[in-house]
Structure 1
């Protein structure tokens, strides 16, 4: 057996035995020669099947407050710093969000995430969000997740009491890259919010965006940080450059780098849902089939924050085609 195949199998067995890989070992995996990516993919898939089974977590989300965000994240079409031409709106009416949640559940979504484009919710807006959550609980009955920016401990505890299962707050990129991507808050601000959510009893969803111009080593750095946090869910977006943002001319990331990222994330976090998020329909010719057999076990369907996505029926058919089943 070739040396590269040998250590991939060795590290796979280490993970299957319940042991964690260190950053050096993860680094060897992410750097495997291109001709051994199939071996890496198959090994990540085996870990996924043993720890996660054949079920794919299918999520829908709603952008409850779009654009006019005070932060200058250079990839984001919702930042008030950039002229992207996107229409915006303030917090949507509760009835509209409840109806969308009903539709998501009827189409087969397992969870529904409320996302708002702001630094953090004001007291007034947070009360509105809490009312929306209460109405979804009463009228729909679907697992609710939230992504509302920075939180206070009191707000996080309130979400937990309302039955919110999981809080999303992405790291976006590695610590070493973050200062090039955002200047209006720090990496530690993001870590702090995740710690607050965890301490309040909420499950964590965090991840980032690949293809921001980061190096492979910086993608490894992000994976290692995620491994330290041990989130219940990891969401990996693939940059879709937005006209008007500083990254509008960013070159697409080669597929082999995308595959390396997903596969190694699975080695690092065998117990976590690993979700293919924004950019899936743009950058992946098969909408995610290969990645769902290379470490991923979740998708976001029916659109994202500022762009559309695959029809839910198309995604469910894709999951069935590769002999997996949607978690509904």
Structure 2
């Protein structure tokens, strides 16, 4: 490694620590740096400066599975794909409450209700709201939601009943999006994200890496997310499911994941960067590396159609590396 490379990484770290943003060219140099260890360490220093040593641990429930009318090529729940998954209508409030209670008992401090909709029909939206009220009455934990596209009126209702954070991912760079999905536009996703912020909900918006995007497109996604000022950014790592167009099409390395998350930390120093879907497959037992390379959040217990680590195991892992649950 040349001193020039080392000096550049340190310079950009000190810029970020002083609230001086980096530009696209800077981010490309960082993500392609010849010293991954230094990049990761500097990203970790930024995390500690703005977020301390606490990690956000979240559990989610797939509260309505499958039959989504959107044609997202990565998604096992799309009606356009032939993935063999369990499909079911919206779960009852009691069933969702039971999962929230279990999540809390297992150490999670936030619980996200996720449903496979373009947008919920009114009857389902009312039932979801009643479920949220029930959880807030019974349990002392944050409740988040991911329900597809939002109107301002619905977002205001969610805010009023106590939802903390709304998830709506950009998924990938705008320049790649029409190769991933054609039934809605990138602007549709941006619009929901903006509505969420405007009504005072926290915004969770991230993406998926490993869908054939270039390194430049990963950085492009990072800047698109940065422009939304999200409170949380989940980074998913594609597991190409059989029955989807992306099955066995692309590979993803641990180094690519670390480079992406570390660079995103330079772009979004105060945001919760959460390692999410696919981490158990792509990182195996090396989550610890990523949590010392810019990440300060995890989704635990499983994902929409994929099982995950047990929350208590994840919390034990955090303690092993000197981190605390937020």
TM range (shorter): over 0.9
Equivalent positions of 1:68-87 (< 5 A) are 68-87=67-86
Give the secondary-structure state (helix, strand or coil) at the position aligned to 2:108: coil
Map Cα deviations across residues 216-265 of structure 1 (whole Å, 9 max, x no partner): 01001000111111100000000001000000122321221111100000
Equivalent positions of 1:32-111 (< 5 A) are 32-33=33-34, 36-111=35-110
Give the secondary-structure state (helix, strand or coil) at the position aligned to 1:275: strand
8 Å contact from structure 1 (residues 98, 140) kept in 2: no
* Structure-1 separation of matches of 2:25 and 2:119: 36
* Structure-1 separation of matches of 2:311 and 2:28: 36
8 Å contact from structure 2 (residues 253, 282) kept in 1: no
Equivalent positions of 1:1-328 (< 5 A) are 2-33=3-34, 36-327=35-326
* Structure-2 separation of matches of 1:237 and 1:158: 28
TM-score normalised by the chain length of structure 2: 0.98
Give the secondary-structure state (helix, strand or coil) at the position aligned to 1:41: helix
Map Cα deviations across residues 265-320 of structure 1 (whole Å, 9 max, x no partner): 00000110000000000010324110000000000000000010001121111111
Q: CA deviation at 1:166?
A: 0.7
* Structure-1 separation of matches of 2:11 and 2:285: 30
Give the secondary-structure state (helix, strand or coil) at the position aligned to 2:190: helix
8 Å contact from structure 1 (residues 112, 144) kept in 2: yes
Unaligned runs of 5+ in 2: none
Number of residues paired by the alignment? 325
* Structure-2 separation of matches of 1:221 and 1:283: 22
Q: CA deviation at 1:18?
A: 1.6
Map Cα deviations across residues 192-211 of structure 1 (whole Å, 9 max, x no partner): 00011111111100010000
* Structure-2 separation of matches of 1:208 and 1:185: 16
* Structure-1 separation of matches of 2:14 and 2:64: 45
Q: Which moved more, 1:71-80 or 1:252-261?
A: 252-261
Give the secondary-structure state (helix, strand or coil) at the position aligned to 1:40: helix
8 Å contact from structure 1 (residues 207, 235) kept in 2: yes
Map Cα deviations across residues 131-151 of structure 1 (whole Å, 9 max, x no partner): 000000111121011100001
TM-score normalised by the chain length of structure 1: 0.98
* Structure-2 separation of matches of 1:226 and 1:83: 30
* Structure-2 separation of matches of 1:187 and 1:62: 26
Q: CA deviation at 1:323?
A: 1.0
Q: Which moved more, 1:264-273 or 1:246-255?
A: 246-255
* Structure-2 separation of matches of 1:145 and 1:287: 27
Q: CA deviation at 1:110?
A: 1.3
* Structure-1 separation of matches of 2:103 and 2:111: 7
RMSD, aligned α-carbons: 0.9
* Structure-2 separation of matches of 1:251 and 1:213: 6
Unaligned runs of 5+ in 1: none
Q: CA deviation at 1:24?
A: 1.8
* Structure-2 separation of matches of 1:13 and 1:283: 31
